[in-house]
């Protein structure tokens, strides 16, 4: 309970200091910060990402670079980018630990965790592509084909082997 009270006290002091420096009342500073958070500019997304990255833990520089390289366009993509970065960083850490351990039981644990985290990362990558509308739409074309008794039919794409012959099957 004491830790939560200390954090609230620190936030209150920071708000008062910011107000004193800017010559504004604490309420005005709070309102200004609130309106800045609601804006959907690149700067506010970047600020949100930095805050989330700190909340998740100290992401190393490579993980933060990954978040920036994803170029999130909104807050949802930003949150997903932070999750992707965390999952990838942790997966790499588990692989590193698996390489360094001499115990078979630890090797199995680290290897399994790394595999699960990499599957999560792949799923998150697909989710980001879906959010951005980058998934290719699958088109199924069905044509009417009649095969008589004793006849043969081929289903699928057929290539003639590149002989230059334009014969179609």
SS3 string, 2-13, reads HHHHHHHHHHHH
pTM: 0.48
In terms of average pLDDT, the best of 60-74, 82-96, 143-157 is 82-96
Determine the structural domain holding residue 24 and report its residue range: 1-38
For the segment 98-125, the average pLDDT, to the nearest whole number, is: 94
Instruction: Say whether both 125 and 67 belong to one domain.
Output: yes
From residue 136, how far is each of 66, 83, 129, 132, 133 by CA, in Å? Answer: 24, 24, 10, 11, 8
Q: Of 48 and 24, which is predicted with more confidence? A: 48
Instruction: Say whether both 109 and 56 belong to one domain.
Output: yes
Instruction: Say whether both 32 and 101 belong to one domain.
Output: no
Instruction: Say whether both 28 and 57 belong to one domain.
Output: no
Q: What percent of the chain is predicted at pLDDT more than 70?
A: 56
Instruction: Say whether both 46 and 98 belong to one domain.
Output: yes
What does pLDDT average to over the chain? 74
Model pLDDT, residue 121: 96
Instruction: Say whether both 74 and 131 belong to one domain.
Output: yes
């Amino acid at each position: 309970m004491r830790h939560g009270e200390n954090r609230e006290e620190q936030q209150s002091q920071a708000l008062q200091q910011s107000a004193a420096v800017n010559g504004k009342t604490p309420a005005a500073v709070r309102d200004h910060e609130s309106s800045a958070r609601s804006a959907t500019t690149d700067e506010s997304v970047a600020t949100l990402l930095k805050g989330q990255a700190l909340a998740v833990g100290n992401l190393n520089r490579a993980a933060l670079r990954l978040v920036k390289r994803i170029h999130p366009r909104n807050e949802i993509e930003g949150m997903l980018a932070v999750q992707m970065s965390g999952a990838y960083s942790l997966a790499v850490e588990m692989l590193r630990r698996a390489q360094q351990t001499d115990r078979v039981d630890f090797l199995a644990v680290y290897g399994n965790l790394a595999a699960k985290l990499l599957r999560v990362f792949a799923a998150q990558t697909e989710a980001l592509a879906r959010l951005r509308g980058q998934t290719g739409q699958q088109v199924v074309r069905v044509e009417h084909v009649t095969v008589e008794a004793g006849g043969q039919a081929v289903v699928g794409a057929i290539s003639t082997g590149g002989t230059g012959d334009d014969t179609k099957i």
